[in-house]
Structure 1
Amino acid sequence: MSEVVVVGAGVAGLACAVRLAEAGVDAQVLEARSRTGGRVRSFRPADGGPALELGAQIVHGDRNPAHTVLGPLPALPRPTAAYVVSGRTARPMALLARGGCPPWLAEARLAAYREGSVSVGSWLTTLGAAPAEVAVAREWFRQTWAADPGRIDAAAAGLAMRQDPGGRGEFTAPGGLDVLTARLAERVRVRTGVPVRRIAVEPDGSGVRLATEDGETTASQVVVTVPPAVVDRGLLTIDGLDEDRRAAARTLAPGDAYCAVVTLSGPAPQDISVFDADGAGGFLSCRRGRPEVTLVAKDTAAACVRAAAGSAGQLAALLAVALPWTAALDIVAVETADWSAEPFSGGGFCAPGPDSTAAAERWARPLGGRLFFAGEAAVTGRALPWLQGAYADGRRAAEEVLKARKQGQ
């Protein structure tokens, strides 16, 4: 019998287990996938080129825990060229700055928003920007939050941005973000390829029983860090969940997310970043001298890229609009990460909708001193649902476990 079992070896689960290990608690992590990392997934070209990200993309903030785990990380390099696709034509990104409300300025203004119950979509129309600028900003927020701006609560999003623990700046992990999760996993016991199918507190309250595909195991406490969507879809059954928490799991549905690395027959002429404001491609990027193009698409753009990835012709056409230099090249290979189709993710991450902040609070609440819950969904509306938010929430759940164990002594 383990003292504590943590279900899920994503950032939250690993951070939780590491904190428990630091306190001298025997914690074991069970992961359904054959790898650790959760929605962190790095792609390494066969020729040894720089790692590219198919999940979480960058390290947000100079106070991000990634700096503590991996050491000081370099700032994210700025591309030598940046473009926006509008009307299926790629134009210099600098053109957006000539208007009254470029999307990054709207994002900064949202961080200060505190009043009322209004969606980001409605809030954007109050900024006095031209309709074309509002349309671009809507797509920008759609790609940032993986949700239709009409479903994002402006006050909750602003609060999450203000309270985020990551700090300022954007950084990169040169060896791949999965080096972070691998480093965390080295410090705890992790078993991969072990899906947990059922969790039940013993009738006498003495512990928790977990049914896995390998059999049964027991623990004094269990921390569930898988996305609520995994529970809502019935891939993990937790006995004793009340209707409030089941409703919370339904509310905390992650947005659609799809990433791809397309390898071409020739190299990029320069470092380029492209934002597809038309909603067909999300964010695209390439590096000078490298043959890969990375696409990161969410919400409706995820559906567009998913459909294009199934046809070499459609994918080539999509790339040619955003990155004209690709038109003369052939597609050699495509590596994809369909997070919505991935059963143990169910999507990208949760945006703060009208009811999601309260749902996140209900989901995060411990159950009877034996079951605890953590993850990016549990910080919805309180912090940004990215690496730093997941990490901090894993540590929070660990502290709740330690408090419960102390009270039980």
Structure 2
Amino acid sequence: MRADGGSVAGVAGVADVLVIGAGVSGLTCASILNRAGVRTVVLEARSRIGGRVRTFRPADGGPSLELGAQVVHGDRNPARALVGTETAPRPAAARVISGRVGRPMGTLARTPCPPWTMEARLNAEGAADGVSVNDWLRDNGGPAPVASEWLRQIWATDPDRLSARGVSAAQRGDTAGHGEFVVPGGFDLLPRRLARGLQVHVGRPVEVLGWSPGRVSARTATGTVRAGRVVVTVPPAVVACGTLTIEDLPADKIEAARELTPGDGCCVVVTLSAPAPETASVFDADGVSGFVSCREGRPEVLIVARDAAAACVRAATGPDLAAMLTVALPWSAGTRVLDTEIADWGTDPWSRGAFTAPRLGAELAPGRWAEPVEDTLFFAGEATVSGTRPPWVQGAIVSGTNAAERLLKAMSR
């Protein structure tokens, strides 16, 4: 793997396939092509590989924390064959915030609509076309604000715009199995394993992608890379906003890119002046801070916030951030914030959000975006499987695999 940001001029004219984006989908696709003997070059805009996988490691060597993909979902998740995993530990204390008051999570089990029960019912029963998640909740137990916020945080989308049928279909289409697992040493081990043996150039954003059947040219600040075919793995929103321009892109592709808007997400590691006295996980049902967690004996607190909560966390600095933590973790009162590490996926120009959930009115967009153009432009990324698979790491792997298989079939014709 080349990850030194070296000039791309030296690779011009030697690639059969260019892959744009070194996230999990792009690296999965490139690794399959590479094993098939296809000369493949990967260009990555960021100074690192991994896309929306980002691991934080404390300076003192303490346990790593995830600022992007959090866990490996499922005991049959293909990621487990690439990296060693351990069962995700359960926190000693689990709480929910409602009305800005913290309560044991177990109190939700005694309510008419526990969020995990409603989520399981939706996944199992499905829903009709045109029904939002909030509509489904109202029709299956009455108003359920806690369950609504729970699903908002899981899917990073306003439940009034989230397709109930798409959520259910994605979960039922998932073949990853059950359980949640962590990667010892950090989730970023996964992209590093995928990138082995590949020619990857980081810090090389593609500005303009030109193409004609059987020929592509990717213009960067340091030169142009030419290849016979290309796999675009950046989120569609990056294309829709013009950060990556694809010349002569068909109208249905442009429309699909505009429809596939990823949900907002912001993750923060806050280092406090005192260690946590407990291992705890807190769900903020008021929609302010998403999920907040800490580990006994460690000064780091992890905030994972999506949709409206992401905007709250993004805006919270200084006293506001300390007050937010005090509600979620009362023990933090009186501590000082020593440092913060932020992964603001909503404002990141190369992600434009957390991931792409199935939205009402955009049910056909993932398939339209995934469809190749003239056996020359191919597309991957979790957005291409939205509504048929969960848009998490296993979805990214499936999408990269699908694109590689389509491309190899086109090359064999």
Q: TM-score range by the shorter chain?
A: over 0.9
Partner SS for 2:253 = helix
Could you say what secondary structure the match of 2:139 adopts? coil
| Counterpart residue number, 1:370 | 376
Equivalent pair of 2:127/2:168 in contact (CA under 8 Å): no
2:342 alignment counterpart: 336
Amino acid at match of 1:88: R
Query: Among the aligned pairs, what percent are the same residue?
Result: 55
1-side partners of 2:75 and 2:207: how far apart?
38
**2:35 aligned with 1:25:** no
In the alignment, structure 1 residue 380 sits paired with structure 2 residue 386:
yes
CA contact (8 A) 1:160 1:384 kept: yes
The answer to whether the Cα contact below 8 Å between 1:113 and 1:154 also exists between their aligned partners in 2 is no
Matches within 5 A, 1:3-402: 3-71=16-84, 73-117=85-129, 118-129=131-142, 131=143, 134-202=144-212, 205-308=213-316, 311-402=317-408
- Give the Å deviation of 1:126: 1.5
Quick check: 338-347 or 179-188, which moved more? 179-188
Q: Where do 4+ consecutive residues of structure 1 move more than 2 Å?
A: none
How far, CA to CA, are the matches of 2:159 and 2:214 in structure 1?
Answer: 46
CA contact (8 A) 1:165 1:389 kept: no
> Which string of whole-angstrom CA distances, capped at 9 and with x for unpartnered residues, describes residues 243-291 of structure 1?
2110100100111100000000111111100000000000000001100
Amino acid corresponding to residue 333 of structure 1 in structure 2:
D
5+ unaligned residues in a row in structure 1: which ranges?
none
Give the secondary structure class of the aligned counterpart of 2:172. Answer: helix
Q: Which runs of 5+ in 2 are unaligned?
A: 1-12
Instruction: Write out per-residue CA displacement over residues 150-199 of structure 1, whole angstroms, 9 at most, x where no aligned residue.
Output: 10111111000000132110000121111111111123110001111111
RMSD, aligned α-carbons: 1.0
CA contact (8 A) 1:31 1:194 kept: yes
Q: For 2:364, what is the secondary structure of its paired residue?
A: helix
Is the contact between residue 211 and residue 217 of structure 1 (CA under 8 Å) also seen in structure 2? Answer: yes
Tell me, in whole angstroms, the C-alpha distance in 1 between the residues paired with 2:225 and 2:343.
32
Q: Number of residues paired by the alignment?
A: 399
Matched residue of 1:195: which SS? coil
Question: Residue 112 of structure 1 aligns to a residue in which SS?
Answer: helix
1:100 CA drift (Å): 2.3
Contact 1:64–1:165, Cα closer than 8 Å, also in 2: yes
Q: Is the 8 A contact 1:7 1:224 kept in 2?
A: yes
CA distance in 2, matches of 1:115, 1:178: 36
Give the Cα–Cα distance (whole angstroms) in 2 for the partners of residues 200 and 113 of structure 1. 45
| CA offsets 1:333-388 (integer angstroms, 9 cap, x no match) | 01101111110000111110123330010000000001100101111111000000
Aligned residue type for 1:378: T
Alignment partners' CA distance in 2, 1:40 and 1:209: 28
